[in-house]
């Protein structure tokens, strides 16, 4: 591959998209619905980026037996409300459009579930610009 055909690979959350409100509000909503303690905002903010299950166990103190329920509630909230709360970082739309116009392949690799990552990028109108979008199962 020549340099111009090697894809530039971006992470999603914290690189292309500021997901803060959608993620932290979703975690808060899921924990509240199950009557679990909601961590302080600084702790919620620290949960953005690392693997969700690890953060829920280690930062929020979610009992292992409730982990699946919390993640399910979180994902429902995120799909219904959180995606709309996310924002592209300044200049990202233009960067993606410039790469596409120049024929430079770009891709996304994320810990977010792949379908959800695609939905976020579609919401922001830039999904079609990516050669591939890969996430967790």
Residues 6+ apart with CB under 8 A from 125: 93
Task: Compute the distance between CA of residue 84 and CA of residue 68 in angstroms, rounded to an integer.
Answer: 24
- Catalytic one among 11, 13, 18, 45? 11
Is 18 among the residues known to form the active site? no
**In Å, how far are 24, 28, 36, 44, 51 from 40, measured between CA atoms?**
10, 10, 13, 6, 19
Task: Compute the distance between CA of residue 5 and CA of residue 134 in angstroms, rounded to an integer.
Answer: 18
Active-site positions read 11
């Amino acid at each position: 591959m020549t340099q111009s055909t090697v894809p530039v690979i971006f992470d999603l959350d914290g690189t292309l998209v500021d997901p803060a409100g959608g993620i932290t509000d979703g975690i808060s909503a899921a924990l509240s619905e199950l009557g679990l303690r909601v961590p302080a905002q600084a702790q919620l903010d620290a949960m953005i980026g690392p693997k969700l299950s690890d953060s829920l166990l280690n930062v929020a103190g979610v009992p292992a037996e409730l982990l699946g329920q919390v993640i399910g509630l979180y994902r429902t909230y995120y799909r219904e409300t959180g995606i709309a709360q996310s924002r592209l970082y300044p200049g990202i739309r233009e960067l993606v459009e410039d790469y596409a116009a120049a024929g430079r392949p770009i891709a996304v690799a994320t810990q977010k579930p792949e379908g959800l990552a695609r939905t976020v990028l579609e919401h922001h109108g830039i999904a079609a610009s990516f050669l591939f979008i890969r996430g967790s199962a």
